């Protein structure tokens, strides 16, 4: 826990989560410094995806959801009074586990959908489409078929389209919930390259089940664990190198070396 | 260098399609013999045809198919045979019943089809007037006006209810859903009686088109609301998450993502609603005054509709009026067909360009 908090861009303070009366996540304190990639790892059901969803207020869309604690974006609590969750989600974008392009829209319309859905005015639509698709490194594959339905793309292309769709909103933070879990190794590699390029411009938090992926793409890693029906907690948090090669906690050591989970 | 695999022509039969002569003969016999035997028995004992179909043919056919199934495939063939015979028998029965209704309407109604029948109204026409004079043009227009107004009121209401049921988190959704479901079991005559006693007996209104429309609304609303709710529920939660995750307010998420994705389903909901009420007779008999002349104003005066035209002509009981009733039945069928085709063409129209053939 030797990371400086002075430059921290996004920061969770004592996040606790409930579903109904069930306490699923306890006292999560994490810092996400600017332009750093943070990987959240841990076995299924430990609450890492739930935690990710608390970071842009998607969590509260689940009817039974409960929450305590705060999430600070540049020092401002996104759960503060008078903060519109819609504005939070514009600044903090999200890529989901399953590619979810809008099936009734073309590739181009999908990219611009975020701007239209959030009611923003824009003039240079074509430029936004090209820039976003280039940043998600899918431009060359789709530049001749921008008018075709987004669902005509392959799964890997759809996921990169969804990343491009988020990028069109120019988010400050990008949350990725196992973005490669449904993809083949080739598409996974391309998305990892994209993540690396994007980290120069934004803060990225990625949930992954793939240890190699966490080591390849992230600067720092948080290991989540929920034991025997207890709420999930962060067992270890530090630089990716430390967590994987010099873990402090024995449970982290077991997990990253594949002994359980 | 690895050897290049050559493309081969497709074999005539896949492993599961292999047939030998013995199988073919057995299956043919099992399909033909029972019907012949059943016909013979029915004729010999002069059993009524419908009873013979169920009590003689069905058991014999099942026994024969089960025997062949048992011989060819053992237990699996036996079970397969029973299920197969039941499925084919009852689905054929339904198709035959529906087709015979359609055929009789076409046969008896086609004789009535002439331009005057479609274009003229029934002024100065009695139940014995020659069929070459008078028609149901006024009833078609009246039906369209009344059902049109009903649709105009019901669709926003029904879609609104569906939105409330699928998109909100309100605690009283369960009650609303139960109410809508019980409304769909409402006998149509009760709806007519309600409007009759509430508006007409009390002198609030005469029997005009509007009272007819009001009586049809409670009948159409449950259909529209429930089918629409199903359509909205089928839109994947992923898409809602995607839109909200991009920073969309809920109303934009609904209007720009959920509604387009559910468009075909919503059009179907409207169609089923129209189909539900276009043939309704009982509520209109109570709430609408018959007219022989053309009246498009649902807010004033008597107005005729297709189902009430049909009902009245049937009740006159003369040969000519019954012939007119059959004609009206055929026109209702055609009208429904036209509405369905129209809405299907409009609804099936995709906004996004189809993928081009790629080289």
Q: Is A255 helix (H, G, I), strand (E, B) or coil?
A: helix
The answer to whether residue B321 sits within a structural domain is yes
Q: Which residues of B touch A90 (CB under 8 A)?
A: 246-247
Binned at pLDDT 50, 70 and 90, residue B353 comes out as: very low
Pairs of CB atoms within 8 A across A/B = 92
Per-residue pLDDT tens digits for A220-255: 999 999 988 899 999 999 999 999 999 999 999 999
Q: Per the structure block, which two tokens stand in for B39?
A: 């016909």
Per-residue pLDDT tens digits for B56-106: 899 999 999 999 988 888 888 888 889 999 999 999 999 999 999 999 999
The answer to whether residue B114 sits within a structural domain is no
Q: Picking from B64-78, B211-225, B226-240, which range would have the lowest pLDDT averaged per residue?
A: B64-78
**Spatial distance between the Cα atoms of B280 and A43, rounded to a whole number of angstroms:** 60
Q: Which residues of B touch A105 (CB under 8 A)?
A: 352
How far is C-alpha B267 from the chain's CA centre? Answer: 14
The answer to whether residue B357 sits within a structural domain is no
On the question of pLDDT at B309 being above 50, the answer is yes
Statement to judge: residues B30 and B152 lie in one domain:
no
DSSP string spanning A76-87? EETTSTT--HHH
Angle at A190 between CA A241 and CA A237, to 5 degrees: 25
Side-chain half-sphere CA neighbours of A164 within 13 A: 28
Helix H segments across chain A? 48-54, 85-91, 107-117, 125-135, 139-142, 155-167, 185-198, 211-217, 240-245, 250-256
Q: Per the structure block, which two tokens stand in for A51?
A: 């935690």
Q: Picking from A26-30, B20-24, B251-255, which range would have the lowest pLDDT averaged per residue?
A: B20-24
The answer to whether residue B125 sits within a structural domain is no
Burial of A98 (0-12, 13-18, 19+ CB in 10 A): middle
Q: Helices B306-316 and B319-348 sit at what angle, rounded to 10 degrees? A: 160
pLDDT at A149: 94
For residue A86, give the nearest of B241, B249, B256 by CB distance.
B249
Interface test with A, best of B166, B234, B241, B247 (most A CBs within 10 A): B247
The answer to whether residue B127 sits within a structural domain is no
ipTM (interface predicted TM): 0.85
Q: How far is A173 from chain B (nearest CA, A)?
A: 12
Q: Can you list the domains of chain A with their CATH numbers?
A: 8-256 (3.40.50.300)
pLDDT at B279: 87
Mean per-residue pLDDT over chain A, rounded = 91
pLDDT at A261: 56
Statement to judge: residues B343 and B252 lie in one domain:
yes
Bigger pLDDT: B171 or B348? B171
What is the sign of the dihedral through the CA atoms of A250, A251, A253 and A259? Answer: positive
pLDDT at B347: 64
- Cα–Cα distances (Å) from B24 to A129, B29, B33, B168, B350, in that order, read 62, 9, 14, 59, 46
Statement to judge: residues B253 and B293 lie in one domain:
yes
Q: Which residues of B touch A61 (CB under 8 A)?
A: 241, 244
Statement to judge: residues B344 and B246 lie in one domain:
yes
For residue B352, give the nearest of A94, A105, A169 by CB distance.
A105
Q: How far is B10 from chain A (nearest CA, A)?
A: 29
Residue B346: in which H helix or E strand, if any?
Answer: helix B319-348
Q: What are phi and psi of A19, to 5 degrees?
A: -115, 115
Residue B332: in which H helix or E strand, if any?
Answer: helix B319-348
Of the three residues B64, B93, B108, the one that is the final residue of a domain is: B108
Statement to judge: residues B154 and B54 lie in one domain:
no
Statement to judge: residues B41 and B142 lie in one domain:
no
Range B168-195 average pLDDT: 92
Q: Picking from B52-66, B286-300, B343-357, which range would have the lowest pLDDT averaged per residue?
A: B343-357
Q: Is B13 helix (H, G, I), strand (E, B) or coil?
A: coil
pLDDT at B290: 86
**Spatial distance between the Cα atoms of A101 and A163, rounded to a whole number of angstroms:** 10
The CA R_g of chain B, rounded to the nearest whole Å, is 28
The answer to whether residue B9 sits within a structural domain is no
For B225, the domain range is 137-348
Q: Are A55 and A10 in contact (CB under 8 A)?
A: yes
How many domains would you assign to chain B?
Answer: 2
The domain that contains B224 carries what CATH number? Answer: 1.10.3720.10
Three-state SS letters, B260-316: HHCHHHHHHHHHHHHHHHHCCCHHHHHHCCCCCCCCCCCCCCCCCCHHHHHHHHHHH
Burial of A251 (0-12, 13-18, 19+ CB in 10 A): middle
Longest dimension (CA), chain A: 55
Side-chain half-sphere CA neighbours of A235 within 13 A: 24
Statement to judge: residues B87 and B173 lie in one domain:
no
Range A29-35 average pLDDT: 93
Burial of B71 (0-12, 13-18, 19+ CB in 10 A): middle
**Spatial distance between the Cα atoms of B15 and B9, rounded to a whole number of angstroms:** 16
Q: Per the structure block, which two tokens stand in for B270?
A: 């409207």
Statement to judge: residues B141 and B99 lie in one domain:
no
Q: Percentage of residues in chain B with pLDDT exceeding 90? A: 53
The answer to whether residue B270 sits within a structural domain is yes
Bigger pLDDT: A52 or B271? A52
- Cα–Cα distances (Å) from B127 to B106, B110, B310, in that order, read 22, 19, 12
């Amino acid at each position: 826990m030797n990371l400086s908090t002075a430059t921290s861009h996004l920061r969770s303070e004592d996040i606790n989560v409930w579903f109904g009366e069930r306490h699923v996540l306890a006292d999560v304190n994490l810092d996400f410094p600017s332009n750093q990639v943070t990987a959240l790892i841990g076995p299924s059901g430990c609450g890492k995806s739930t935690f990710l969803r608390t970071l842009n207020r998607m969590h509260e869309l689940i009817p039974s959801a409960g929450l305590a604690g705060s999430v600070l974006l540049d020092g401002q609590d996104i759960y503060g009074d008078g903060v519109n969750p819609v504005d939070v989600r514009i600044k903090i974008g999200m890529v989901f586990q399953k590619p979810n392009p809008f099936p009734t829209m073309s590739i181009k319309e999908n990219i611009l959908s975020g701007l239209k859905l959030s009611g923003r005015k824009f003039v240079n639509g074509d430029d936004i489409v090209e820039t976003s698709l280039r940043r998600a490194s899918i431009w060359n594959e789709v530049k001749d078929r921008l008018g075709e339905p987004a669902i005509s793309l392959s799964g890997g292309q759809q996921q990169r389209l969804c990343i491009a769709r988020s990028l069109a909103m120019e988010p400050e933070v990008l949350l990725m919930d196992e973005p490669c879990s449904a993809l083949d190794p080739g598409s996974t590699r391309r998305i990892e390259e994209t993540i690396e390029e994007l980290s120069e411009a934004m803060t990225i938090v990625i949930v992954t089940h793939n240890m190699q992926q966490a080591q390849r793409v992230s600067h720092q890693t948080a290991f989540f664990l929920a034991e025997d029906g207890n709420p999930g907690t962060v067992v270890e948090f530090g630089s990716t190198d430390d967590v994987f090669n010099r873990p402090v906690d024995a449970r982290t050591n077991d997990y990253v070396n594949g002994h359980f989970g | 260098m690895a050897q290049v695999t050559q493309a081969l022509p497709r074999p005539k039969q896949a492993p599961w399609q292999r047939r030998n002569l013995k199988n073919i003969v057995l299956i043919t016999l099992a399909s033909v013999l029972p019907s012949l035997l059943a016909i013979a028995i029915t004729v010999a004992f002069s059993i009524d045809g419908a009873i013979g179909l169920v009590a003689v043919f069905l058991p014999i056919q099942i026994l024969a198919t089960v025997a062949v199934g048992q011989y060819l495939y053992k237990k699996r063939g036996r079970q397969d045979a029973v299920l197969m015979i039941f499925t084919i028998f009852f689905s054929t029965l339904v198709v035959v019943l529906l087709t015979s209704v359609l055929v009789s309407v076409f046969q008896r109604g086609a004789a009535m089809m002439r331009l005057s029948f479609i274009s003229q109204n029934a002024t100065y026409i009695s139940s014995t007037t020659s069929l070459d004079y008078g028609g149901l043009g006024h009833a078609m227009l009246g039906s369209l006006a009344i059902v049109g107004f009903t649709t105009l009121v019901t669709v926003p209401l029904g879609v609104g209810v569906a939105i409330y049921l699928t998109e909100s988190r309100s605690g009283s959704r369960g009650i609303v859903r139960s109410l809508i479901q019980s409304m769909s079991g409402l006998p149509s005559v009760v709806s007519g009686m309600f409007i009759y006693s509430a508006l007409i007996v009390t002198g609030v209104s005469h029997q005009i088109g509007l009272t007819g429309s009001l009586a049809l609304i409670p009948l159409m609303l449950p259909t529209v609301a429930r089918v629409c709710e199903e359509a909205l529920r089928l839109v994947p939660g992923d898409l809602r998450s995607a839109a909200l995750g991009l920073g969309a307010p809920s109303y934009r998420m609904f209007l720009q993502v959920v509604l387009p994705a559910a468009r075909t389903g919503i059009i179907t909901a409207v169609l089923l609603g129209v189909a539900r009420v276009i043939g309704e007779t009982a509520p209109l008999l109570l709430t609408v005054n018959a007219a022989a002349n053309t009246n498009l104003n649902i807010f004033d005066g008597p107005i005729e509709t297709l189902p009430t035209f049909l009902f009245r002509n049937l009740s006159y009981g003369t040969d000519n009026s019954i012939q007119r009733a059959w004609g009206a039945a055929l026109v209702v069928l055609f009208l429904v067909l036209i509405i369905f085709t129209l809405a299907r063409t409009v609804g099936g129209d995709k906004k996004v360009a189809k993928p081009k053939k790629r080289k």
